[in-house]
Each structure stands twice: as C-alpha cells, then as structure tokens.
C-alpha cells in the first residue's frame, strides 16, 4: 500500500472495497498455491505442458483482469507472506529475504550492482528427485519474477523432479565477477533461455559463454535477439542455422506463411497465432522439434508463471529426462489474453473493441470514481503485453490511478506485437475521430519496431493522423530504481539509445522515468513522484486541446545572456522581438486574449519589456511584471530551502529589490512576456571554478514558480536558442524529482523555438526540460564578398590577367603592396617590400598572383549568414537562391547526384578535386577556372529559381525546373543557357536533369514555412511533426522548419561516408604538421561537439579513430559499436595519441561513442608494437609508471564535464569580464573538463584532472572542426571555451606552444588551416566586413548586440590561444569607434551593447592583446564615460 501515492487515496469507496476483496482472494489463492500440484501428462508427441485456465490472468481460479493489476501493486508485500508460509511446507524453497530493492550506490562504476545470486532458486529438500538446471538471460526484468515463481511451483508441486535456476539481467554481465559465475552456471546447465539480447558487446559475452556448451546442453532456447545469439538455438534437431535450408513440413509451412512484420518477433507472433490450428496436421516425426520451439515461444510470450512453468516442464520432459517423470492431467493448449486489446486494472475483462470499453468507462467506471466523462480529458496509454502477462504491471496500475485521481480518464491499450501503431489505429479512433487528448507510450520502445528494427515513417503517419501530443515515458530497466536515483549520469546509455533517442525519431517528447526495476525480485516499482509529474503533465497537454484560446494563458520567455539590458532577447541568428511581434499578431487572430493595449510595432514591444525605447536612457532596471514576497516564494517553491546552500536565504542578490523577488517582463492580457533570469555567475567569478554546477538562484526559481503557480500558464514558449533552463544541474538523461530542470518546469507544457542547425542542444532541451521543440530557419548564407583593400587587390588581379606580359611586373608590385596593407602577408608568402618582381619570370609572377588570388577568393566565397531570421517570414527568392547555390555545390553519392562543380569540371575535361588542389597551391589558371565555376553555379541556380519568382520577389509556388525542355527553342533549359553564357558550352540538359530535379524538391522545402503554424498547433495540443536538425545545406530534409527537432540514432555514427571524409582531413593535418615540423606529432588534442557530429554523421569522431589507427565496424544490425585495429602496414604511419575533450552535449547524446573511443584507445595501448610507431602505448606506459596503474587504466584519453555540468565556463568568464587572468581560465578548463570516461566503468565519470593534465602536457597539436558556414569560431563562445592551446603551452615542460589547426569542411573543398589563419578569415568575412555588419544593423537592437558578440568572442581567442593578430582589433576600432557616424548608429540602436563593445576594446588593450595609440585609448575612455552617463540618465 505504501507504493500507492497520495493521488490514489482519493479513489472512491468502491475501489477500496475492490482492493479488500482482492487482498482476501489473493491470500486464499496463495495459501492454496502452497500445495498446488498442476496436472501434467504426456502429449502424443511427447511434449508436456501444464494445465492452464482459459484466461491468461487466471492461473488457479476464475479471476478478473482487475485482480491482476491490484495484485501487482500488493505483490511486494504479499511476497514476504508467501515466503514465510512456504518455509513451513514440505517443499519450501530457499529464497532470498524479500527486500524491495538492492541497496548501494554505483559501486565499481557499473550501471547496475544488482546481484544475480538474489534470484537463484534451488530446492531446499530435493530428496531423491532428479534435478535439472536452468540458466536464463533477459534484457528486461519483467520475466524474472515469473521465472522465479515458476521454478518455485515446480519444486513445490513435482514429486520426481526439481529445478535449480540461475537468472541474469543482461546488463549484469558487464561485471567480471557476474560473467565468471554465468559461465560456471552455463557449464552445468541442462537448459539455457535467452530473450531480447540486443546489446552487441553483451551478446558477444553470451555467445562466448554458451557456445562451448551448446552441444552438451539438452536445450538452448533463444527468443528474438542478435543473430549470433539466435544461432545458439538447439531444440533437438531444430536450430536456427538450419532454418531455410532443411526441407521439412514445418519449414515449408513457415516459408509459405512468411510474415511481413517489422521485426523477427512480429513474424514469430504471426506464425504462433496460426500454429495451434495446424500443429495437429503436422507429422510428429518430422515437426516435433520445430513444434517444440514454436510452442516454447508461445508459452514465453504468455509470460505468466503458469506458462513459464509449462515451458520449463515441457523442455525438461522432452529433452532432459529419458523417461516420463512428470505426473498430471490432460493439458489444455497455452492460453493467453488476446494479442491486442484494452486492459484496465479494475475492468471486468480485456476489451477487444473501443465501443465496449468506452461504454464501460463512461457508464460504470467514471461514475464510480467521481469523474465527469463529458469534461474529463482522455489519456491514451500504450502498454507492453509482457508486463500484463507476467503480472508485472504495478507501474501501469499506479499511473492509471494517478491520472484518474487527477480528474482524467484512461484508455490503456496493449499488443503482443512490437508494432504499436495497429492498436492505436484500432482503439484511439471512433468514427474517424481521435478519442484521446494525449498519448503516453509506456513500452519504452519506438512506436513501430523493437530494439532491433524500427519503421519511423509508419509511426509518424499514425501519430500525425491521431494529431495529439505523444509522450514516451521510460521504465529504468537496465538499473535498479535506487541505482538510477543515485546515478549522476541518470539513465543507462544503451537505454538512452534504444528507449529515448529512437522514440524521438517518431516525435516523442518527455522521457520521464516512471518506474524502476527492483534489484531482488525484478518487479517494476512505480516511482510515485515521477508518476505524479507524468500524470499532471499529460493532463496539462490534454487541456490545451479542450480549452478555448481566449482562456489559455501563455508565458513567452526570452533570454538575456550575458545578463545586461543590451542583451535582452538573445538567440542565435533570430530577430527575437520581431518574431514575438509576429507571434502575437497570429495569436490574436487565433482568438487569444492579448488585452486592450497590444503594441502596434516591434519598437513598442521592446519598449514595453525594457521599460524604455531600445534599452536606451534612464532605466536601470527592466519592467517588473510581478513582485513576489519571500513568504509567497517559500510557500510556492518546495525546494527553496535547497538553494540556500549556494545562495543564502531568499531573496538573495539577484532579481530582487532587497525585499521581494522580481519577475521581469510584461503582460498583455493572458500572454506574459518574461525575461529568464541569468545563471547567476555574474559578480562572483569564483563560481566559475566549480567543477560541478550547483543550483539555480532564488530569482531563477521564483521566475518559474510565477509561471506555474501564480500566472498558472497553460504553456510556456521559450523563444530562441538558447536559455539556461535545460542546462541546470541534474542527471544527464532521465530526470529525477531532485533535478533542477524538472523542478523548475514543473507541470507546464514547454514549447521551444530552437535553431534548426542546432539539434544537439535542442535534444538536451527535449530530454532535460521536456521541450517540444519547433525549429526555425537561420538566415541564408551568402558569399562574403570583397571590400576596401581586398576589393582593390581583386581589381588589380583582374588587370593583371590582360596585361601580364606587357605591364605584369608593375601590377604584381602593386598587388603585393596592397596585399600587405590588407595584412595578407600573414597568410601568403609575399616578396619583401623593396623587392621588384620584374626580376622574376612570368611563371614566378603568376605563382605569386595565384596565391594572393586564392586567398582573396577564399575570403570572397566564404559563406556567412546575413541578418537575422524572423519567425513566420519565409525567405525571399534571393535568399532561396543563396541556399540552393550551396546545396547545388555538394556531391550527394548516397543519392547518386553529382554536384554542379563536378559536372562543370567534367564538361571541360577536368576533375574538380584536381582543380581545387591546383588552385590551393596557387595556380592562377585553376584559380580563375574555380572562380568561373562558382559564378556559373550562381547563374544557373538563379535561372532555375526565376521561373518560380513572383512580382514581390518571393517564391509562392514552385514550377518544375526541368519541365518542357523540348519546348524551349534554341538552347534548352534556362539553366543550360546560363551555363553557356559562362563558357560551359559542352554541358547538356540530361547532365543537369537529376541535380535540378533535386533542387526543385529543395526549393519547395526552403519556401515551405510552418514555424508559426507549428506554434499554433502546439498550443492547440496537437502533434508536432518530427524532423532532423542540422545543416540544411548538407541535409535539406532539415527543411521546412517548424518541426519537432531530433538528433539521430546515436549508434548509427560514424557512417562510412564520414569515415572517408575523416581520413582525408586527418591525412591533410598530418601532412601539414610533418611539412612544418619535420616529424609526426605524438599527441593531438581533439574537441568533439554534439551538433557537429550530428551534422556530419560523426566525421570528427571518425577522425579520432583514424588518428589512433582504429576502424569502426557495424554489428549484425548495422549499429556502429565494434572496432578493429588497423595494421601498421596498412596505416602507413605511427599511431598518434589523442586527448579528447567532449562537450557536455556530446557526452549527453553520444556516451556510447565515448565508449567506442575509450575502447579504441585502450585497444591500441595494449598492442605489442614498437613505441616509435605507437605513441598511444608509449605515453600509456609512461603514465602507468607515473600513476602506478595498469596500462589499460593509464590509456585514459576521453574527458568531459561531470554529469549534469556543461562547458569550461571560460566563455562565461570572458563574456562577464570577471576573470583575474589566464591562469584562472586554464584552471577552470582542467577542473571542469577533467572527468574521464572509462569503458570498463561506464556508469560514472571519474574526476581525473591529474591524468587529464598529464595527457595534455604531451600534446603537440590542438585541433577543432568547422562544419557549417552558419557557426564559426567567433559566432559563439563554445569554440574558445573548450580550446586547450594555452593550457597545453602552460603544462608542457619544454615551454613550447603547440601547433593549432582547424579543419574547415564548410565547402566541398575542405581545408586544414592554422587557428590564426581561421581567426583572420573569420574576422575579414564577418566582423570587418560591411556586408556582415550592415546586414546586422538592419535588425537594429539585436544586430548591434550580434556585432559586439563577435568582438568579444574574438578576444576570447586571444585569451585561450593567442590566435588574434593586432590588426584585427585595430581595423575593428577603425570601423566601429573611429567613425563618428557609426558610433551614433550603434549608440541609438542598443546603447548597452555599444558600451559593452567599448569595454571589450579597453579590456583587450588592458590584458595585453591589442597594442594601439594613446589617441585611440583616450577616445574609448571618453566614449565609455559618455555612454555610461546616458544609460544611467545623468
């Protein structure tokens, strides 16, 4: 009864009476069971079985489905009574004491410490009975209780035989001691049973243990598992290896009736349904063993203790014992509940039609529990049949009761298949309309398919038809629930991959842990607080479809980071206030109550939130929407006291007037626009040193308390990428009630606009703050172009092409001089200033010009997003052209589509890779050809889009690009004509047809806009279509935006294509390092990012593997989780050591890949190879001696933050300006990033800062990747936050600064540049580029902030890597400070951001990063004082 949470106590008296009747009946049943001897006899074919009743839930007497449910809740208590009574019986069993849970933390670093010995069953008084031994391994624990009970029943009821049983949960085999005991048990076993063994490394262990004894065991019975495990099957002459080869009646029958299900299990199920009807017609001598396997599977799927008892006795009778030792009565066929149906714990039966169930629900059940069926939300719940069969359904019962206690009704459906879309289609619709308001999937699997195969399109089609929010809660099956609670990581990585990541591909949200496995009994234990949260959230989602829009309250949340009035409305590439204004207009049109005084324009909206126009003068604080007294705060915030350890008593120092807690924002009727409080680090830089994040401050908690308890919002809309909620301390995945994201969001549905190019952090928001994300488009990327001196260099080169033989020398001298004034001499090896190029040959001058041209074309063609995106405003035709140009430039071998550069190069008899290589080397002719190809691509794409452009310059309807080619007189398609004008006259329309057919699809995706539509759908309580996030250039399926973003299957990377690309970039990096240093580096420091690896399908992950000389391999199901060392002969170079720093997001999303990396490093460290050819082993041996550990433990190279913590906080320190010096930044990096992953102890990240430092001081090269034009080195602080360049320099004993490189794969012509080269390129194409900063200034307030952010991030590279040239600061000062007109524009649009810009210049000088004139410094100091006075109203 203690398992029932408070919600169930409000159940009507009828429920209590039912429970009492059930308890009395169960007690009588259990007593009777002590002497129960099930009747058994020999079937004609020698296959024995136990007498089963007609109802799967009625093993002894006629009982209702209700009894099963309540029995499950009471089972842990009754189990103790049963054990005490059995001790007094003749055949009592030696059983473990009935503890509810296995206690203890994450000892040994494994995810589970449950003890298989606790479930070992042996007969206490075997007497002279013959004993057979059974060993089983299962993925999930619901069968554990049935197996234990079945064995106890056999030992209590059989006079001539008894059973010993050893059982293992698959995850327990990671423990070496458990695995050794498992092998010993298998060696003595008569029967082995396995089911759902789908984890590759553990499947390998099962095969290793069972295969040597397969022939000597009497029966090996494996149900759906990895193919290698399935091949262990041996039931007499029946094996899986012979299926499809041997000719017999059974196999012929299976071939003729081959099912079309989504998985092996579904196929077997379809076969089993037909089997009883045909068994009697099959010749016994030919089909006995195959029939035995199929009958065994049917008993197994039945799941109840009686069915499992029959399974064991049948196998023992037929294959273990030579004579008939079993006695009993005639056996009925195995009986189970219907394959699918509607099951409610207090219903009189399982319903097979929703009409019958709804009639019972409305007319009988709802009145009994006091719920009005006409007003109550209906929650559809999807259940796993095996839990019902095995009576392991307490967690199902608890959730159903909780929903009903909160005023809802439940429609709980199940199926024995792994295609849960069918019962949804059959039961959640009535007369073509959905009868549920929200769906919760409790199975822990994707909607269609099991742990091995999925059909996401089918699932999405079903869910879109249903069009209701789709929640997928998770039972913690790989750990006991105590271990999950104690774990900092939270949910097991394998379970995250199978039961969180895969359902997300269906559009699932809210992976709330609602139950956990009991370590002793294996039963599912309901988590009362999690079930309460899940029930409340489901009902809140349901209310959105029931409430009128005029009555709904919505909290729109904007961010301010770093906290400053000039930064209110921060979001990546998003015009936040412009977007909110569009959203408010749309909501008003949809009937939402926005009050009487809605602002008439964006400026008015900003003014209302910031209290004065454009965050300008005389307003030290933001607008206060609500003042919360300390007493009210404490009353409404249950965890307020927990925050005092870090922040002292409320109200604290942040978001307060000294007495009350302040909620900043403004209300327009039922819509609140609020400013999310900051992390709280500002003003206290020492908090940045914390290795683990602490807690939100009182002001942060008060903000979300206001939304939930005071405003009583029906939904919250987080506006833009990204806020702080999802990054608050707590478990990585699988929040507990003590995790702050869960505590803060409480029961409010969370809609979240997230940039489409950032699926990794969007996934964190989905998993940690229960967000239903809505993707928004980032601005289209355009060529950076040339300006000022760079433009002059380009014009001089154009002149040189026509006059190279007559006036070439003088023009080259001018090119060199102008290039120097543009600081291109830092990138190109130019002649000295006083050198006359007339002394050079024509070819030598061509080489100089070619190299300069290559550099300025690199700058000119660099892609940069222009301006900011406004939600709900689709791109113009010009913006669409910019996007399509980039899409057209990429080869897509998976679709057999060549990019336009390759097509055009082929038309002139060249290979595009040769052109790129030659142009990069400075060949002038190939540089010109490369540029001509780019211009031709733009012209052709423009011609294709113009066919669909309307008079307003937008694409509203896409016309076929390649239609009616024959009707175009004279020169084929418009695209062909455009190419011929550029000189590519050998291209023909058939060469273009496939590519432009693809571009037509892409154009439709680009202009299809559902960003605002998805918001309204979400607020209506409807299903948001899922879609991938990432780079829309690489993967146009990211478009159209307005999707519920997901990442990818974490076990699917790296792909073969990613490995191929990784090899190219690693080889180029090593070639450059060898060319510059004369030898291979011994160690390289990598940084791995979540988003980058999603976009590139694991390129940087594959780079690490290739660096150490390891090849990733897929398992038999295509999942990448195996590795092999590449022989040194094939590798052709030494194995280079690595130090891998994983972002917190990568850690959360790809911990399985961290496992892969760690195994790879350990694999090569243990190879017996020459140390000059294996630097991993060389360093591991040194560190083994240094730390007194094994070589394997010394080969620790994969590091990240502690669980629940993110970043090194270096970016925070630089953004807030509160850091003492570089030493502080370096200490932050090593302390926060020094937590090691160990594949041998995957359940914990160990604090290994000393090992981290020891590895870093051996590093010769630091290395990062750029994969997208949208996010580069100075766009975000992440890159320098995790860069270890100066850290390595400070740790190396020789004082040598490491080389620093960046791989740039933003274009088809991938490059490896030095870090300084990349920072210069970034500055020239963005911060210093008029095209960039003028585009930003058009966005006003937000644009000024974006410019300032680039400057501060540039300074971050000075602080962490010393990678910024003085001219970058000097030129930026000339552009933004020395120009008085520019000063005025910045001051008027966002004075706070402008003040921050002035501060950054002064700080850069003060910290020694920028040398400049005293005149410049005086101007900056004066400006600071003037701006500060104006802001303060002086």
Q: Which residue has the tokens 């604080």?
A: 621
On the question of pLDDT at 73 being above 60, the answer is no
792-803: per-residue pLDDT in tens?
A: 888 898 888 778
209-213 long-range Cβ contacts below 8 angstroms, 24+ apart = 209/179, 209/182, 209/183, 210/186, 213/186, 213/187, 213/189
Predicted pLDDT at 136: 95
- In this prediction the pTM is 0.77
Average pLDDT of span 1060-1068: 91
β partners of residue 1265 = 1303
Per-residue confidence band for 548, with pLDDT thresholds at 50, 70 and 90: very high
Q: In what order do the strands lie in the sheet with 1311-1314?
A: 1246-1247, 1235-1236, 1198-1200, 1137-1142, 1083-1088, 1261-1266, 1299-1304, 1311-1314
Pairing state between β 161-169 and 715-719: unpaired
Closest by CA position to 193, among listed 268, 132, 248: 132
Spatial separation of the C-alpha atoms in residues 1251 and 579, rounded to whole Å: 48
On the question of pLDDT at 260 being above 50, the answer is no
Predicted pLDDT at 684: 55
On the question of pLDDT at 689 being above 80, the answer is no
Q: Which carries the bigger pLDDT value, residue 26 or residue 318?
A: 318
Name, of 112-116, 553-557, 654-658, 843-847, the range with top average pLDDT: 553-557
1303 contacts: CB under 8 Å, gap ≥ 6: 1065, 1068, 1069, 1103, 1263, 1264, 1265, 1266, 1310, 1311, 1312
Least confident of 102-111, 617-626, 879-888, 1006-1015: 102-111
Please provide the DSSP assignment of 1378-1406 as one string. S-HHHHHHHHHH-HHHHHHHHHHHHHHHH
Least confident of 36-45, 270-279, 1392-1401: 36-45
834-880: per-residue pLDDT in tens?
A: 888 888 888 888 888 888 988 888 888 787 777 788 898 777 888 88
Spatial separation of the C-alpha atoms in residues 107 and 105, rounded to whole Å: 6
Please state the three-class secondary structure of 762-828 as a single string: HHHHHHHCCEEEEEECCCCEEECCCCHHHHHHHHHHHHHHHHCCCCHHHHHHHHHHHHHHCCHHHCC
CA distances from 741 to 516, 538, 661, 764, 767 (A): 20, 17, 20, 11, 10
Spatial separation of the C-alpha atoms in residues 371 and 55, rounded to whole Å: 30
Predicted pLDDT at 112: 67
Predicted pLDDT at 878: 85
Under DSSP, the state recorded for 694 is: -
- Label residues 723-749 b or e (16+ Cβ within 10 Å = b): bbbbbbbbbbbbbbbebbbbbbbbbbb
CB 513 within 8 A of CB 484: yes
Helix or strand holding residue 203 (H, E): helix 200-210
Spatial separation of the C-alpha atoms in residues 330 and 38, rounded to whole Å: 10
Q: Which carries the bigger pLDDT value, residue 105 or residue 1294?
A: 1294
Q: What are the E-state strand segments in 803-939?
A: 863-865
Spatial separation of the C-alpha atoms in residues 291 and 279, rounded to whole Å: 7
On the question of pLDDT at 328 being above 60, the answer is no
Average pLDDT of span 644-648: 90
CA distances from 222 to 138, 295, 318 (A): 10, 13, 17
Q: Is 658 exposed, middle or buried (0-12, 13-18, 19+ CB in 10 A)?
A: exposed
CB 934 within 8 A of CB 1307: no
153-201: per-residue pLDDT in tens?
A: 899 888 889 999 999 988 889 888 999 999 999 999 999 999 988 888 8
Predicted pLDDT at 289: 83
Spatial separation of the C-alpha atoms in residues 597 and 603, rounded to whole Å: 14
Per-residue confidence band for 782, with pLDDT thresholds at 50, 70 and 90: confident
User: How far, in whole angstroms, is CA 1003 from its chain's centroid?
Assistant: 28
Provide the token pair at 780.
């289209």
Closest by CA position to 196, among listed 451, 495, 523: 451
Provide the token pair at 602.
């964006």
Please provide the DSSP assignment of 459-524 as one string. HHHHHHHHTS-EEE-EEEEEEEHHHHHH-SSBS-HHHHIIIIIHHHHTT-B---EEEEE-TTT-PE
CA distances from 807 to 814, 817, 853 (A): 11, 16, 18
Per-residue confidence band for 1405, with pLDDT thresholds at 50, 70 and 90: very high
337-388: per-residue pLDDT in tens?
A: 888 999 999 999 999 999 999 999 999 999 999 999 999 999 999 998 888 8
1142-1197: per-residue pLDDT in tens?
A: 988 888 888 888 989 999 999 999 999 999 999 999 999 999 999 999 999 999 99
Helix or strand holding residue 195 (H, E): strand 191-195
% helix, strand, coil for the chain, step of 5: 50, 15, 35
Q: Would you state the torsion angle of the CA atoms of residues 279, 280, 283, 287, taken in this order, to the nearest 10 degrees?
A: 20
């Amino acid at each position: 009864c203690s398992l029932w949470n408070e919600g169930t106590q409000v159940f009507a008296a009828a429920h209590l009476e039912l429970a009492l009747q059930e308890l009395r009946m169960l007690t009588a049943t259990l007593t009777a069971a002590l002497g129960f001897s099930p009747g058994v006899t020999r079937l004609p074919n020698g296959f024995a079985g136990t007498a089963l009743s007609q109802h799967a839930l009625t093993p002894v007497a006629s009982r209702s489905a209700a009894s099963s449910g309540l029995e499950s809740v009471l089972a842990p208590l009754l189990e103790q009574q049963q054990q005490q009574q059995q001790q007094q019986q003749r055949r009592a069993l030696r059983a473990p004491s009935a503890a509810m849970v296995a206690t203890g933390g994450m000892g040994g670093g494994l995810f589970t410490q449950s003890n298989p010995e606790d479930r070992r069953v042996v007969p206490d008084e075997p007497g002279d009975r013959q004993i057979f031994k059974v060993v089983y391994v299962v993925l999930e624990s619901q069968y554990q209780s049935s197996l234990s009970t079945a064995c106890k029943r056999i030992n209590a009821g059989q006079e001539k035989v008894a059973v010993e049983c050893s059982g293992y949960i698959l995850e327990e085999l990671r423990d070496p001691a458990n695995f050794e005991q498992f092998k010993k048990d298998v060696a003595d076993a008569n029967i082995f049973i396995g089911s759902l063994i789908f984890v590759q490394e553990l499947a390998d262990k099962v095969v290793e243990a069972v295969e040597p004894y397969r022939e000597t065991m009497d029966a090996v019975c494996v149900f759906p598992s990895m193919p290698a495990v399935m091949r262990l099957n041996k039931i007499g002459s029946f094996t899986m290896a012979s299926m499809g080869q041997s000719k017999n009646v059974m196999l012929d029958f299976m071939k003729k009736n081959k099912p079309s299900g989504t998985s092996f299990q579904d196929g077997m199920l379809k076969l089993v349904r037909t089997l009883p009807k045909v068994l009697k017609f099959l010749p016994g001598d030919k089909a006995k063993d195959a029939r035995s396997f199929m009958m065994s599977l049917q008993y197994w799927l039945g799941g109840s203790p009686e069915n499992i008892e029959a399974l064991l006795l049948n196998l023992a009778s037929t294959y273990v014992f030579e004579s008939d030792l079993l006695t009993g009565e005639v056996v009925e066929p195995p009986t189970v509940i219907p394959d699918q149906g509607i099951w409610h714990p207090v219903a009189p039966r399982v319903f097979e039609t929703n009409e019958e169930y709804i009639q019972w629900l409305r007319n009988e059940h709802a009145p009994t529990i006091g719920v009005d069926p006409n007003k109550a939300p209906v929650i559809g719940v999807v259940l796993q049949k095996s839990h019902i069969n095995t009576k392991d359904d307490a967690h199902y019962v608890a959730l159903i009761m909780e929903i009903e206690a909160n005023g809802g009704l439940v429609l709980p459906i199940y199926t024995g298949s792994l295609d849960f879309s069918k019962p949804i289609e059959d039961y959640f619709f009535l007369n073509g309309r959905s009868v549920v308001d929200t769906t919760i999937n409790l199975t822990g699997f994707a909607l269609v398919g099991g742990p091995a195969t999925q059909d996401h399109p089918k699932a999405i089609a079903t869910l879109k038809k249903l069009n209701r929010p789709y929640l997928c809660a998770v039972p913690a099956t790989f750990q006991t629930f105590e271990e999950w609670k104690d774990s900092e990581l939270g949910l097991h990585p394998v379970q995250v991959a199978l039961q969180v990541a895969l359902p997300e591909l269906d559009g699932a949200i809210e992976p709330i842990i609602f139950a956990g496995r009991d370590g002793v009994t294996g039963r599912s234990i309901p988590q009362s607080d999690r079930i309460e949260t899940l029930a409340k959230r489901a009902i809140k989602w349901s209310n959105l479809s029931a409430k009128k829009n005029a009555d709904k309250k919505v909290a729109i949340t904007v961010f301010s980071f770093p906290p400053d009035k000039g930064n209110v409305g921060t979001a990546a590439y998003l015009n936040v206030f412009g977007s909110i204004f569009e959203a408010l207009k749309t909501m008003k049109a949809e009937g939402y109550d926005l009050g009487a005084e809605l602002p008439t324009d964006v400026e008015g909206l900003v003014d209302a939130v910031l209290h004065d126009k454009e965050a300008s003068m005389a307003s030290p604080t933001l607008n206060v929407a609500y003042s919360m007294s300390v007493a009210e705060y404490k009353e409404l915030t249950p965890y307020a006291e927990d925050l005092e350890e870090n922040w002292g008593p409320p109200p604290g120092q942040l978001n307060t007037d000294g007495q009350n807690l302040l909620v900043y924002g403004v209300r327009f009727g039922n819509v609140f626009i609020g400013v999310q409080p900051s992390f709280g680090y500002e003003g206290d830089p020492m908090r940045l040193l914390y290795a683990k994040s602490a807690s939100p401050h009182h002001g942060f908690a008060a903000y979300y308390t206001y939304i939930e308890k005071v405003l009583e919002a029906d939904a919250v809309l987080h506006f833009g990428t990204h806020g702080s909620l999802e990054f608050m301390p707590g478990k990585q995945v699988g929040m507990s009630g003590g995790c702050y994201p869960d505590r803060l969001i409480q029961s409010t549905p969370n809609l979240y606009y997230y940039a489409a190019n950032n699926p990794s952090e969007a996934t964190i928001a989905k998993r940690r703050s229960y967000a239903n994300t809505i993707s928004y488009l980032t601005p289209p990327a355009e060529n950076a172009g040339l300006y000022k001196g760079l433009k002059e260099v380009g014009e001089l080169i154009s002149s040189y092409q026509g006059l190279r033989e007559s006036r070439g020398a003088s023009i080259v001298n001018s090119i060199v001089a102008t290039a120097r004034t543009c600081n291109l001499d830092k990138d190109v090896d130019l002649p000295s200033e006083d050198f006359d190029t007339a002394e050079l040959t024509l070819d030598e001058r061509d080489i100089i010009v070619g190299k300069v041209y290559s550099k300025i074309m690199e700058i000119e063609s660099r892609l940069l997003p222009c301006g900011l995106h406004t939600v709900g405003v689709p791109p113009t035709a010009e913006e669409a052209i910019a996007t399509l140009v980039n899409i057209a430039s990429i080869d897509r071998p998976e679709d057999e589509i060549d990019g336009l550069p390759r097509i055009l190069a082929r038309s002139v008899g060249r290979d595009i890779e040769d052109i790129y290589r030659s142009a990069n080397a400075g060949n002038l002719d190939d540089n010109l050809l490369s540029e001509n190809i780019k211009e031709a691509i733009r012209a052709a794409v423009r011609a294709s889009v113009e066919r669909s452009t309307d008079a307003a310059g937008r694409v509203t309807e896409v016309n076929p690009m390649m239609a009616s080619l024959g009707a175009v007189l004279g020169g084929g398609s418009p695209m062909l004509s455009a190419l011929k004008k550029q000189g590519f006259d050998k291209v023909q329309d058939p060469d273009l047809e496939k590519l432009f057919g693809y571009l037509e699809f892409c154009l439709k995706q680009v202009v299809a806009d559902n960003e605002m539509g998805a918001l309204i759908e979400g607020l209506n309580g409807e299903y948001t279509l899922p879609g991938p996030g990432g780079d829309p250039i690489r993967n146009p399926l990211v478009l159209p935006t307005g999707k519920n973003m997901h990442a990818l299957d974490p076990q699917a990377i790296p792909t073969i294509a990613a490995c191929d690309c990784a090899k190219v970039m690693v080889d180029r990096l090593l070639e450059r390092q060898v060319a510059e240093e004369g030898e291979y580096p011994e160690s390289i420091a990598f940084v791995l990012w979540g988003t980058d690896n999603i976009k590139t399908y694991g390129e940087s992950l594959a780079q690490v593997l290739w660096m150490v000389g390891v090849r990733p391999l897929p398992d038999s199901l295509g999942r990448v989780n195996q590795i092999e060392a590449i022989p040194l002969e094939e590798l052709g170079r030494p194995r280079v050591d690595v130090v891998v720093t994983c972002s917190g997001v990568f850690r959360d999303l790809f911990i399985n890949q961290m496992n892969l990396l760690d195994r790879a490093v350990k694999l090569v460290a243990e190879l017996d190879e020459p140390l000059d050819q294996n630097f991993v082993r060389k360093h591991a041996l040194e560190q083994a001696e240094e730390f007194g550990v094994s070589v394997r433990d010394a080969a620790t190279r994969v590091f990240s933050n502690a669980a629940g913590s993110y970043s090194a906080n270096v970016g925070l320190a630089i953004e807030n300006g509160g850091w003492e010096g570089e030493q502080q930044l370096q200490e932050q990096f090593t302390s926060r990033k020094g937590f090691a992953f160990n594949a041998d102890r995957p359940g914990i990240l160990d604090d290994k800062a000393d090992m981290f430092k020891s590895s870093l001081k051996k590093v010769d090269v630091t290395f990062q990747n750029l994969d997208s034009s949208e996010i580069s080195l100075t766009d975000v602080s992440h890159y320098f936050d995790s860069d270890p360049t100066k850290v390595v320099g400070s740790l190396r004993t020789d004082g040598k600064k490491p080389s620093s490189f960046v791989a740039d794969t933003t274009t088809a012509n991938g490059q490896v540049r030095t870090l300084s080269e990349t920072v210069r390129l970034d500055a020239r194409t963005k911060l210093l580029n008029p095209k960039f900063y003028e585009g930003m200034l058009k966005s006003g307030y937000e644009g000024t902030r974006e410019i300032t952010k680039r400057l501060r991030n540039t300074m971050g590279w000075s602080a962490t890597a010393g990678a910024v040239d003085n001219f970058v600061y000097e030129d930026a000062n000339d552009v933004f400070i020395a120009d008085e007109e520019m000063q005025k524009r910045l001051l008027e649009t966002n004075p706070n951001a402008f003040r921050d810009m002035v501060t950054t210049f002064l700080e850069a000088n003060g910290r020694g990063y920028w040398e400049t004139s005293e005149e410049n410094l005086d101007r900056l100091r004066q400006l600071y004082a003037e701006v500060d006075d104006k802001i303060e109203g002086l």
